Chain A
Amino acid sequence: MTKSLLDLHDVELAALAAAGGRREFGELARRHGSAVRALLRRMGAQPSEADDVAQDAFMTAFQRCAEFRGEGTFAAWVKRIAARQYLKRKSRDARYVAEIEVEEAAPQVDTPGLVDLDEALKALSETERLCVSLCHGAGMSHPEIAAAMNLPLGTVKSHVKRGLDKLRARLAPEPARYGQHRDGSIQGGRTAHVV
């Protein structure tokens, strides 16, 4: 008796897709499409742009399916492809390059009570958001991000650190948020609150 697609593990589906199985790859896209699209949105892509890039990433993944050996998760593998493709698209626009020297004012999010990650990310500058999402969402190391974004390693590290500090402040429970100084520095060391 043959297993249904739903019963197959990602690695099995990827192997079948590498042999040309479009239905099997469709199942992988159904399973992990949301995660890839969510990552791209967290990186700052508009929903329609995120969907386009995610589709392109899945196309690339299908062509390279034979390279997937199951060493990491399939979702992480496609996320990295998608993140790089989004960065490439952005670098063509050369939007984030201008931010290296001038730190833009991040939009303020004043949601009362706890906010979720997507809301909290809006408090970050575009470059901070990219760096944090690449690091924690796509699982890329600082040197990989530096290479992908064509930024100095130290700049990437400081963007990640600043971004994480802002996220922790946003995601912290109310008492910790009240502990913020007027200059924006944080008193007390609670990290992100997992809802």
Chain B
Amino acid sequence: MSSDEFDPDIERLFARTPQMPDATLFAADVEARLASGSRVRTLALTTAGLIGGCIAVRESLNLNFSLAAAETPVAGRALGHSLQAAGANAGGAIQGAIEQMGLTDLSLGSMGGMQLFWLATGVLVALVAAGLVKLSQET
């Protein structure tokens, strides 16, 4: 800072800021906003985790039971059939849950692994871009 910029008396006056009477209230507001932001983030992460988990379970059930049907022709056929039925029921239930969440149009059942991968990648890229835009606005 050059001598033109520095004035110790003015600096001291600016540095002297008495505690405002509502300082505690202000801090409480800040904490409340932090808590609220944390709740929203937790909710969003939980929802995303649940949706992701449902899709993962559904996909793995389909895969396991297809293999079970193909590889146990004699001894495990009865077991395989019952598991397949259970898998179909579970898959149907999960699909129903996904549909209830408003994701009917996604028709995830018809999507292949690579399609889901690219879909997830696209969503991640969009989230990162949105984050960068927000960050650039704040700085």
* B29 CB-CB contact with A under 8 Å: yes
In the complex, A58 Cα to B26 Cα: how many Å? 11
In the complex, A42 Cα to B18 Cα: how many Å? 13
* Residue of A with least CB distance to B18: A34
* B70 CB-CB contact with A under 8 Å: no
CB neighbors of B among A31-54 (8 A): 33-35, 37-39, 42, 51, 54
Contacts of A137 in B (CB 8 A): 14
Contacts of B138 in A (CB 8 A): 60, 85
In the complex, A33 Cα to B20 Cα: how many Å? 8
Contact pattern, B 8-25, Cβ under 8 Å of A = 1, otherwise 0: 011111101111100110
Known A-B contacts A29-B26, A59-B34, A157-B4; the reply to A34 vs B20 at CB < 8 A is: yes
* A160 CB-CB contact with B under 8 Å: yes
Give the residue of A29, A33, A164 whose beta carbon is less than 8 angstroms from that of B10: A164
- Chain A interface (Cβ within 8 Å of chain B)? 22-23, 25-27, 29-30, 33-35, 37-39, 42, 51, 54-55, 58-60, 62, 84-85, 88, 117, 132-133, 135-137, 141-142, 157, 160-161, 164, 167-168, 171, 191-194
